[in-house]
Structure formats: C-alpha cells, structure tokens
C-alpha cells in the first residue's frame, strides 16, 4: 500500500506530520497489509521507508512532483513525494493501491492552475483513496477535469464527492460503491485490460468540521497572489489558523481512515 510523504514534509506541521504518517502505516499493518511510504533519498526513489528515513523527510525535505524527480535525484536531496509522484512510483513498483488525505485539483479562481495529480492518475492503473480533493480547490472543475481524463470517481458509501473536511460538496461521483468487496470487484473490472487508468476512491471523512467551506474561501481570497508549489501548503496552513487548529487533528484522522479503508479493499481485491 503506497503512501505519499508531502503531507510529512510540507502538508502538516510537527508533530502532526509524523502522527499521520505513522498512523497510516500502523492502520495498514493492522489490516494485514504492508505500508510502502514513498520518498526520494540519497539519489534513489524509495518505496518503503524505515523510521529514521521517515524522520529525515519530516525534518527537512523539498516537495517532489513528477517533474521534480530528476533534479532531486541528481542532487541527492531529500524529497517528499506528492500524490502524482507517489502514484508513478507505486505503478513502477507494481503497487495498485495508494492512500492520501486529499488529491490536488483545479484551484479556485485559477482554472489554469491544475495539479499534476489528475493527469498522472489518468496514466497509471492505481486506485487512489482520498477524502476527495482538498477543500481549498474548485471541486466542480476538478471533477470535470477527471471526467475529461476518463478517470472514474467512486464514492465509498456515498453518492456525493467529499470535500476533505466535510462529507458534502453538492457534486455527484461517477459511481457509488459500498464496502470493501464491492469496491474490489469494481476496481478489478475497471482494470480488465491490465493497463487501465487510475481510479479515485472518495472516502467521506470520519467526522466533519463546521465552517470548513467559509475558511477555505477566506484563505483563497487572502492568497490570490500566490501560485506554484507553495500555494497548497500555505492555504492549508491558513485554513488551520482560521479553524483554531481543528483542521490539524481532523487531517490526521481522515488520512489514517483512508489508509485503513484502502487496506481493507486491497485485501478483498487479493481474494478475488
């Protein structure tokens, strides 16, 4: 089960970053799986980290998407992988399941600013379990883009695309699945040619944060002049400030929940 590390390096402050990473690994092991946390270290892409390696990523690392892998490898930097880079590494390693908090997408008010996550998912047959896309994004345009890329968005026990800190976005998913066994059967069918596209499995968060949408809109308005790789971490940090830190605990809970659901589906998939 692949896990990304941008949440460790840039997404969450200490100690929440390692709480999330270690909690995900523990949840996967409890469900009988093997966690494969991905990062770039010492000129190599590592699929599976030791505890000291994970701590290196948490201490100091650069954010690594697919476009950044070459320079970071050549310079032997410590790199924390995004969803896009993790999906690519997982696919190359033969891993078909990955868990994260929320995928990237199309930014509010800036439709030209689109995360590489979406296109990379469409190219690789990996199931990405997430609490939808990050609430700071334009969820409607993100779903439209996934539709254009022919990426199925499965709602795990829901007909509605989750919005990270809330279960409701008003946006429908392409199909609903209920439970690990049905999800596994749908994924198996989606990958009938063994070269299928990636699939987004949208898992509602275990609990909700009141006012999340208002916080996201305020953060987006305040950071309109920011773009590039720094935008998402800064917006999430601002939402955390506006919520009085409540988003930090919820972020840890939801990413661990996603990892546990993903592991259960992976186990059902292997039993087919």
Residues classed as catalytic: 4, 134
Residue 270 CB partners (closer than 8 Å, separation 6+):
none
SS (H, E, C) 103-132: ECCEECCEEEEECHHHHHHHHCCCEEEECE
Tokens of 60: 């100091």
Alpha-carbon distance of 217 to 134, in angstroms, equals 12
Phi and psi at residue 64, in whole multiples of 5°? Answer: -125, 110
Q: In the Cβ-directed half-sphere of 24, how many Cα atoms lie within 13 Å?
A: 32
Query: 3-state class of 47 per DSSP?
Result: strand
- CB contact at 8 A, 192 and 120: no
The DSSP result for 1-20, as a single string, is -EE-SHIIIIIS-TTHHHHH
> Rg for the chain (alpha carbons), in Å?
17
- CB contact at 8 A, 21 and 55: no
Taken in order 22, 24, 29, 33, the sign of the CA dihedral is negative
Alpha-carbon distance of 92 to 3, in angstroms, equals 14
160 DSSP assignment: B
């Amino acid at each position: 089960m692949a896990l990304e590390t941008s949440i460790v390096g840039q997404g969450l402050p200490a100690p929440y970053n390692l709480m999330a990473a270690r909690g995900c690994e523990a949840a996967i092991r409890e469900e009988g799986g093997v966690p494969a946390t991905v990062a770039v270290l010492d000129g190599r892409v590592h699929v599976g980290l030791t505890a000291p390696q994970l701590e290196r990523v948490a201490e100091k690392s650069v954010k690594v998407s697919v476009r950044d892998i070459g320079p970071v490898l050549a310079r032997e930097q410590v790199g924390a992988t995004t969803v896009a880079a993790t999906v690519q590494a997982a696919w190359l390693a033969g891993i078909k399941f990955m868990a994260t908090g929320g995928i990237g997408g199309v930014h509010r008010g800036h439709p030209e600013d689109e995360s590489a996550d979406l296109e990379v998912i469409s190219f690789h047959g990996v199931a990405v379990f997430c609490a939808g896309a990050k609430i700071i994004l334009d969820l409607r345009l993100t779903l439209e883009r996934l539709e254009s890329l022919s990426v199925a968005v499965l709602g795990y026990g829901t007909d509605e695309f989750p919005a990270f800190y809330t279960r409701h976005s008003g946006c429908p998913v392409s199909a609903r699945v209920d439970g690990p066994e049905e999800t596994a059967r749908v994924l198996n069918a989606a990958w009938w040619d063994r070269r299928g596209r990636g699939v987004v499995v949208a898992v509602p968060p275990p609990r909700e944060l009141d006012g999340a949408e208002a916080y996201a809109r305020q953060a987006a308005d305040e950071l309109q002049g920011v773009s590039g790789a720094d935008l998402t971490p800064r917006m999430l940090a601002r939402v955390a400030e506006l919520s009085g830190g409540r988003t930090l605990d919820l972020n840890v809970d939801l990413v661990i929940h996603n990892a546990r659901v993903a592991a259960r589906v992976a186990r059902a998939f292997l039993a087919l």
